[in-house]
Structure 1
């Protein structure tokens, strides 16, 4: 376990790195501090603890780099701290997860990797984490109470219990990110949370690609949520944009709505095991030029779309 000085800045008046990290952290440029795990600190969470207690100069970013062959080992939990200037990176293309050091920080039964609460800004995720060897249920990212996170292009989470769980007016941006091959679901948004996952890969989830509840809003433009049990599942007053989204070959439904709205022109929802689109009470779907198993739907077409333009379940679709 490394120790640190709780009062020091990164630099002294001469612009030099201050002790105790001077001998272990390389200042690669005038704008970036690089911290290596495990050479500088044993775990990412220990490196984060160092960053949290130091005042980073304006314009300076911090890169925490997992060295080759090193797994992610302990939960990063932030409350109110703003670490938007920090990025989690790796020397390998994919980083394994050692769940023996993770904790259930949210009290939901899963072991968490990154947790942000009470307006926290979680470090940017700029690598891909794979928990295929984990023995317990692992969740990649949990946000609550106005917190924020960014997942980089081609980065994120795969082969774990859940990918991203954002609640209570939190925001997560994941353009071209990865939350795929989850046991349960790729992304869940609730409590007026907002998630931007355009061109993201949420495919192959045993449960749901993207789940939205309690007035959440999500975007899936040109995203891939195919081969899930359900591609996208909005409910409870939620709203999702799924323009040109791939929702094909889901075992139940490409889209399954209850009391919510989806705008999905040119989306492909064909090949579902049940209805391609299931519209429950109080739901509305815009399906202009969408593709279903029976081709582009027409007004009055009920093939593979439950309650399409029907009052029986209260759902209505527009094509």
Structure 2
């Protein structure tokens, strides 16, 4: 398997603050890889090291086959990095932004013009190409920013929370763009605060917490291994709700006293669901209705960010 990104034992500290404490990563070429973690877990620091913007204190990393320390120039020629905020010149038109990036990348004037036209069409911006970028919507600016990063045809695209602040429609449009990048042969390294985004896009996910990877696998694998099924119960009255909540204690993972609902973990089997219902409602009068839900990445994320020892799928 060809790896577009590989890292072993990456560490990074700022004074007494340990940001990365030994991160290992392996990203197959031609895939979407998502790095998840709570704020301050080290996601952006890892991306900046891999994109050669920061030097690690320890460990090794290669991107597109090049060492991020000894071959920084080659790495920079093979990657693009799009951050959380669009970095476009709002006084220039969309086409002018892309032509400028082409010239800065070493393209001739004619080649930069051709490349700009290609990218405007690819990102559905042709009609707006001669408008100032300052008049673009948030989603359009993000697409233009991503297009600017692709002027040099990078093989590895780092996207650090690219849909932050976008509405659902614009986010879904970006999802289509990201899927298209991989279909065209690229590798996408994605960090995001939207867990459903990683679930929708990523072939593999790594969860980082306190500066280290605590789990890695496909979204399905992670949900199967770390996320329990959840049995949602709606109680008939407040007295019954309070009694069942007290009886289940720490097994309750969600509670809503206004709606008289409780969520309890279960393995999802009919036998276990039946056992829970018999346990809390032997008279079959306290529970009005129930439903069973599969684990989501939200459930996995909450479980993994409290894991004490690394676990790998």
Q: TM-score, normalised by structure 1?
A: 0.30
Q: TM-score, normalised by structure 2?
A: 0.30
Say which structure, 1 or 2, has more relative contact order (CA 8 Å, 6+ apart).
2
Greater helix fraction, Structure 1 or Structure 2 = 2
Greater strand fraction, Structure 1 or Structure 2 = 1
Which structure: larger Rg?
2
